[in-house]
Amino acid sequence: MNACIRAVVRTAIAYNIKVSGIRHGFDGMIRGEYIPLDSASVSNIIHRGGTILKTARSSEFMTDTGMLKAKENLKRNNIDAVVAIGGDGTFRGAVEFNRKFGFPFIGIPGTIDNDLYGTDYTLGFDTAVNTTLEAIDRIKDTAAAHDRLFFIEVMGRDTGYIALWTGIAGGAEEILLPETKTDISKMIEILRKRKERGKSTIVIVAEGDDAGGALEIAQKVKSEVSGLESRVTILGHLQRGGRPTCFDRILACRFGVAAVEALLNGVSDKMVGLINNKVSFIDLQKAATTKEPLDTDLIRFTKILS
């Protein structure tokens, strides 16, 4: 997000437009947390994870009173349009605000889950999967040395993008996803056979899998397979931080420039996306309400490659 903030600010300045940052998202919009941004304000942030503007959820913004306060603050601070970086919740708020007040928004997809419709990639996904993959590689070394079974839980409450990509790239024997039904009995049979052959095993579990999280699944396996020693690693928020990858930095720059230029051309209520390596735009409401399905080919590959 920092790389994207930098791109938005410097693009606006290049077109002689003044820019303000709103700290803590919609909550800050209501509470008047506006700060002027210039080129120096965004120096040396392209390599930093997170966001210098901070982020927060805002239940108040979803009320008529909260939205009215936000509108008054935008007017008071001479804001003509907003570039909103976030996920479906951010975009739903922007759509509703635009519906009430006709205020221009451009959305930029920022979520490690990569589950927003209308773009092949979201900001943060590439960094998250590479961070996760590094951890999996390290654990795989330990698993191989001890002929041990590891359950590794990755983020993905509603979607399995991170689990699917890192599971394939990390050579996992099993990948458990929210989008597919987990057959515990079948998995146990596979694990039992691998144990008999003295093989180490890596199982990647998306936190939203229907059979439960990694701890619960590991307990189910333990109760069925005597003598099968396993370890559980929950990567958690490790996946959300760290230096962004080159791909994410370039993507952020492309999205930021496109967002500002779209507003200058009278485009609003759209999300910037990347389709087939080309910047594109999609209706903001459609992006917020349509779930991006997993690649069925990649799901098929998991069965072949494992």
Domain of residue 132, CATH code: 3.40.50.460
Domain residue limits at 178: 126-240
**Is residue 104, in this structure, part of any structural domain at all?**
yes
Does one domain contain both 148 and 208?
yes
Does one domain contain both 214 and 236?
yes
Q: Which helix (H) or strand (E) holds 178?
A: none
- Alpha-carbon distance of 23 to 36, in angstroms, equals 11
User: Checking DSSP bridges between strand 19-22 and strand 34-37, what pairing results, if any?
Assistant: antiparallel
Does one domain contain both 256 and 108?
yes
Per the CB < 8 A criterion, the answer to whether 188 and 222 are in contact is no
- Alpha-carbon distance of 261 to 254, in angstroms, equals 11
Domain-ending residue, one of 209, 240, 271: 240
Q: What CATH number corresponds to the domain at position 63?
A: 3.40.50.450
Does one domain contain both 199 and 156?
yes
Does one domain contain both 216 and 161?
yes
Half-sphere exposure of 122 (CA within 13 A, CB side): 25
pLDDT digits (tens, 9 = 90+) for 181-192: 999 999 988 888
Active site residue 183: no
Please state the pTM of the whole predicted model: 0.93
Per the CB < 8 A criterion, the answer to whether 93 and 105 are in contact is no
- Alpha-carbon distance of 161 to 169, in angstroms, equals 12
Which of 113, 115, 126, 209 is flagged as catalytic?
Answer: 113
Does one domain contain both 224 and 251?
no
**Averaged pLDDT for residues 16-34:** 97
**Averaged pLDDT for residues 57-83:** 96
**Is residue 67, in this structure, part of any structural domain at all?**
yes
State the pLDDT at residue 290: 92
Higher pLDDT, 125 or 195: 125
**Is residue 304, in this structure, part of any structural domain at all?**
no
